[in-house]
Structures are given as C-alpha cells and as structure tokens.
Structure 1
Amino acid sequence: MSDSNTTDFTNPSTFILMGIPGLEVTHVWISIPFCSMYTIAILGNFTILFIVKTELSLHGPMNYFLCMLAVTDLVLCTCTIPKTLSIFWFNSREVEFSACLIQMFFIHCFFAMESGIFVAMAFDRYVAICDPLRHSAILTNPVVANIGLAVVLRGCMLVLPCPLLARQLPYCKTNIIPHTCCEHIAVVKLACADIHINIYYGIFMAILVISLDVFFIAVSYIQILRAIFRLRTKDARLKTFGTCGSHLCAILAFYIPGLFSVLTYRIGHNVALHFHVLFMNVCLLVPPMLNPIIFGVNTKQIWDRLLRLSTHKGT
C-alpha cells in the first residue's frame, strides 16, 4: 500500500479513504455519536415503514411519500456510514475504484431523490389544504406511483454523468482521498487532468436540484399560507398550520445543512478540510435520524399506532 501512495500510477484499482483529516486520533470518539445517530435513523425509518404498512388508515398519499422518504433516508445513510465506522473502528480504508464510483452515484442520487420527495410532499399538502374536496381525485395511487418514479428517474439522470465523467479521468497523483466517503469533488481532485467540467457540472447539478425544488416548495407553501390566513377562526388556522409543521421542520433540517455543505465545499476555501468532511457526514446522518422523529411525533395516526404497539408489547 505504501508504494502505491508514493509512486506515480494511472487509474488505481483501489482508493484509500483517510477518514476525517487531522482528527484521526479522535476517530473512535467521533464514531460514538455517528453510530448512535445511525442506529436511531435505521430503527426510526424501519418503524415508519412498518407502521404505515400495517395500519390501513395510513394508506394515503402523504404516508406513501413518507415511506419513499424513509427508504431514501435508509439508503442515503447506509451507503456511507457503515464504511465510515469501519474506518474509525478497524482502520479499513481501502475501497475499490468501481465501488467508489458506485458510492458516489448513490450519495448524490439519493440526495436529489430526497429533495424531490420533499417537493412531492409539499404538493400533497397544497392540494390537501387548498383543494381538499379533490385531494383523493387528484392524488390517486397511480399518480403517487408516477410521481415517485419521476423522482427516481430525475435523480438518476442528473447524477449519472458525475461517476461517468469521473471514470474517464486519469488518476496519477495519489489514491488517497481525504474524506470518509467517495464524494464527487473529493475524488475528481485526485485526477491529473483538467477537472473544470466535473466541477461545473457538480455545481450545476446542486444548484439545479436545490434551487428548483426550494422554489416549488416555496410556491406551494405561499399558497398554503394564503389559504390558512383565509380561515375564519384562530383554532382552525393553528390546526391547519400544525399539519404542515412536521414537513417544514424536515425541510429546514435537510436543506439548510445541505446548502451550507455544498457552498462551503466549493467556495469556502478558507474553511478547514476536517470541518468539510465532518459537516458532510452530519448532513448525511441528521435528516435520516430526524425525519422519522419529526413525522412520527407530529403525525397523530403514526404516533397513536406507535403508542398502541408499545402498550401491547408492555402488557
């Protein structure tokens, strides 16, 4: 391994993941909150899937989108965190070149898919509040399935050029990636060729996904707020707004850290590398951990079903 790190080579068969550069001595301590958040994310999202599947009253558009979000969260954190923990605990740093590109695709594809699901959930809330009488007629099961398929296809089509472009690059500097995972920019920076097209496409993809999706979500919620303020009583306004509270919290938990990570990694040249890596891992862990908690607590049917299951097991 040492030879491959010090001599020139072209297109290495394996890359070496450093972990969090500069914080190697604290990897074991950092793994404790990482492992805890990952465990909560796995248990929480599987719980959401189980409850929605077994409770017939929850079989509706909003909860179908919630299941899509849970599956996306499970894949998003599972494609990175187990390898990160293996680096922290077992010093297992090697990753095959093809596996690295696959991980790159999964990270960015499922990030884009999660963003698309939030747009779909905002549209569902818009129809439910602004046109409640036609909600069941507009968001039928086939329509929900088609929206889910469109979200998947959009994510795949937008992200696929990233690993394909990265695969064409010659890598003859080093095979050491200063990261815990095969993030797009972290990988292509190792190439001994012009990577401007890779950088520009990465920025274009991030801006396209985030800006368009945030725009559509904002438009939906502006219409929702207008409908809420037209309600006659304060109690009705608070109750209606409460149905959107969990969605807004999940949106903020996803987009604010994600946007900050994208901007600092590409234009924040004065930000320490270990902060970039640490913060990106947090971005991949916090939304999958918080989403089932936010929706489980704020969705009455899910919370009631969870309480019934807990009570039944207790007796």
Structure 2
Amino acid sequence: MLALNRTNLQPTTFLLLGIPGLEADHVWISIPFCLVYLLSLMGNVSLLLIVKTDPKLHEPMYVFLCMLCVADLMLTSSTLPKILSLFWFKNREIYFEACLTQMYFIHSLSTMESGFILAMAFDRYVAICHPLRHSAILTPTVIAGMGLVIVFRGAILLSPHPFLLRWLSYCKTNVISHTYCEFMALIKLVCNKTKIRRAYSLIVAFLTGGLDFILIITSYILILLTVFSLPSKAARRKTLSTCVSHVWVILVFYTPAFFSFLTHRFGHHIAPHIHIFIANVYLLIPPMMNPIMYGVKTNRIRERFFKFSTIKCV
C-alpha cells in the first residue's frame, strides 16, 4: 500500500521487490550473494593489509589498487546487507531518505571506481611508454592529488542526484522492482516530467564512466604501439604481462556496467529479472575478482597472502 506524505506525494518508505519473477528463489540466490560478499570483504581487507605492510608494494599501481579496494568495500557494504535482509527476512521496506542515500553512494562510489581504474591505466602507460620518468611523474604528491580529484569528482558530480529526486511526486507506486535503490529505478516511479533529470544523469555518466573508458582505451592503444616497437618477442611478452591483471579488472568492471546502463535506457525488450541480476553482478563480482586477479598474477601479493593466512591459522 502506498503511504504518502500528502504535501508533495512522497512515500515515507519504498518497498524493494527483489528480483521480479524469482521471489520464490530469493533464499537460494542469497547463498552465492553472501559467499561473494564474504570473499569480497576478505580479499579486499587482505590486499589492503598486504600492501600496507610490504614496502616493496608501495608503488603507484598498488596504491591506486588500494584506493579501488576501499571503494569496493564501501560499495558492497552499502548494498549487500540490505539485499541479504530482503532475501532472508523479506525485509522489503527502506525509508525514503535511506533509499536516496543508498542511491547516492552506489553511483558516486561506482564513479570513483571508474576513476581509480583510469588512474591505474595511466600508471601502466607511464611505466611502459616513459619508464625512465615513471618515478618523476607519479610522485607521492601526484598520486595523492589524483586520488583526491577522483573522490571529489564522484562526490560532487553525483551530489545533485538525491536532490533531483527529493522533491518529485511519487504518485504511481512505492514498489521498486529492484534489489536496491538506483536512479533509473526511482525515476520510473514519478509522475513529473523527468527529461532534464534523465539528461543530467546521462551527461554525468558520459563525463565519468564513458570518458574514463575512452581514455583507458586510448592509453592501451599507445601502450600497444610502444610494445610492438620493442625489438624482441620476449620483451614484448614480458611488458604485456604487466598489464594482464589490469585488463581483466577493466573487463570485469565495464562489461556489466555498460550492459546495465544500456538496458535501463534502451533495452526494454530484456526480461526484468535478467537486467536486475546483471545489475547485481555489476556490484558484486568486481569487488570480489579484483583482489583475486592481482593476487594470482602478482607473486609478491600471493606469497604475502599465504604467509598472512598461515600466521592467522597458527
């Protein structure tokens, strides 16, 4: 039942539906969701501790990776507890202000993640295309400045989103056909004209994730041009191997992100449960996979992780 504030037709609470059509399977779906969440927490916290305690890993790439880990931890922790509460206890209610807050954190932290992945691509570009100037270009001051710019970009550009939705009239329903609050799911519930708000969201998405992706592709084109100019095949293979983990991070992050973004706006023929499942994959899988991919590829991280695990077991 739609409980409204009569002054502006705002609901006091929203009801999260979960995954439409799969409500009967929510308990079973929650099992892999919970496991992925626990692996994300363990992996990212372990990676932060390993990098912090090992001076040899105090390099720009791993500093940016730690920033990404922090964003991943905040993103999953702002969504997964409520999703699991919905699946396990059918706790569908979420307060209006809490819903807007969750939406802000999801979009701003996702934007920060994209920025940190771009920063890691820039590090790979400098390390491969300008190796003699790497330490001179990426100084601790520059790294800290890049991190702050990425954080403030996400925080400021996405800050209008809650206010764009705060004063609208939600006269259709207060049921959100999703497992969490996000901009496009909420905008579909209002009766006001939303063309300007949708346009702003689209522009911000392009200026952040879209532009980041273009710059990442550009950096890798320059990297490939440099690599293929190397004289020996062994040198080319060794140089490219330093980018493998980062390329996987790019694919894991941007593939579901673009799918979710495009289907929300243009994929009306796609079944709702498929879209919402992919939207959850976008939030769950990258935070779990990032530490695994770097742990598997980086001997130093892998060795420290096993050493840390052994100490804990003892």
The alignment's TM-score, normalised by the length of structure 1, stands at 0.95
Question: Which amino acid is 1:124 matched to?
Answer: D
Check 1:121–1:17 CA distance in 2 against 1; reply closer, same or farther (3 A cut): same
Shift of 1:224: 1.1
Question: Which amino acid is 1:161 matched to?
Answer: P
For the pair 1:144 / 2:169, whether they are aligned, the reply is: no
Length, aligned pairs only: 313
Contact 1:19 1:87 survives alignment (8 Å): yes
Check 1:222–1:17 CA distance in 2 against 1; reply closer, same or farther (3 A cut): same
Matches within 5 A, 1:59-74: 59-74=58-73
Q: Say what the alpha-carbon RMSD is for the aligned residues.
A: 1.7
Instruction: Find the counterpart in structure 1 of residue 198 from structure 2.
Output: 199
Distance in 2 separating the partners of 1:22 and 1:82:
22
Contact 1:8 1:172 survives alignment (8 Å): no
Distance in 1 separating the partners of 2:217 and 2:2:
53
Instruction: Find the counterpart in structure 1 of residue 211 from structure 2.
Output: 212
Instruction: Find the counterpart in structure 2 of residue 167 from structure 1.
Output: 166
Distance in 1 separating the partners of 2:272 and 2:284:
19
| Percent of aligned positions that are identical | 53
Shift of 1:309: 2.6
Shift of 1:73: 0.8
Describe the SS at the equivalent of 2:61: helix
Instruction: Find the counterpart in structure 2 of residue 30 from structure 1.
Output: 29
Structure 1 unmatched runs, 5+: none
For the pair 1:248 / 2:247, whether they are aligned, the reply is: yes
Deviates more, 1:227-236 or 1:260-269: 227-236
Describe the SS at the equivalent of 2:173: coil
Instruction: Find the counterpart in structure 2 of residue 86 from structure 1.
Output: 85
Structure 2 unmatched runs, 5+: none
Shift of 1:204: 2.1
Deviates more, 1:65-74 or 1:202-211: 202-211
Describe the SS at the equivalent of 1:95: strand
Check 1:55–1:270 CA distance in 2 against 1; reply closer, same or farther (3 A cut): same
Shift of 1:186: 0.7
Describe the SS at the equivalent of 1:170: coil
Cα-to-partner distance string for 1:88-130 (whole Å, 9 max, x where unaligned): 0011111111111110100110111111111100111111111
Instruction: Find the counterpart in structure 2 of residue 275 from structure 1.
Output: 274
Shift of 1:9: 8.0
For the pair 1:125 / 2:130, whether they are aligned, the reply is: no
Instruction: Find the counterpart in structure 2 of residue 154 from structure 1.
Output: 153
Describe the SS at the equivalent of 1:19: coil
Cα-to-partner distance string for 1:209-244 (whole Å, 9 max, x where unaligned): 232111111111111112211222222111111010
For the pair 1:181 / 2:180, whether they are aligned, the reply is: yes
Contact 1:8 1:174 survives alignment (8 Å): no
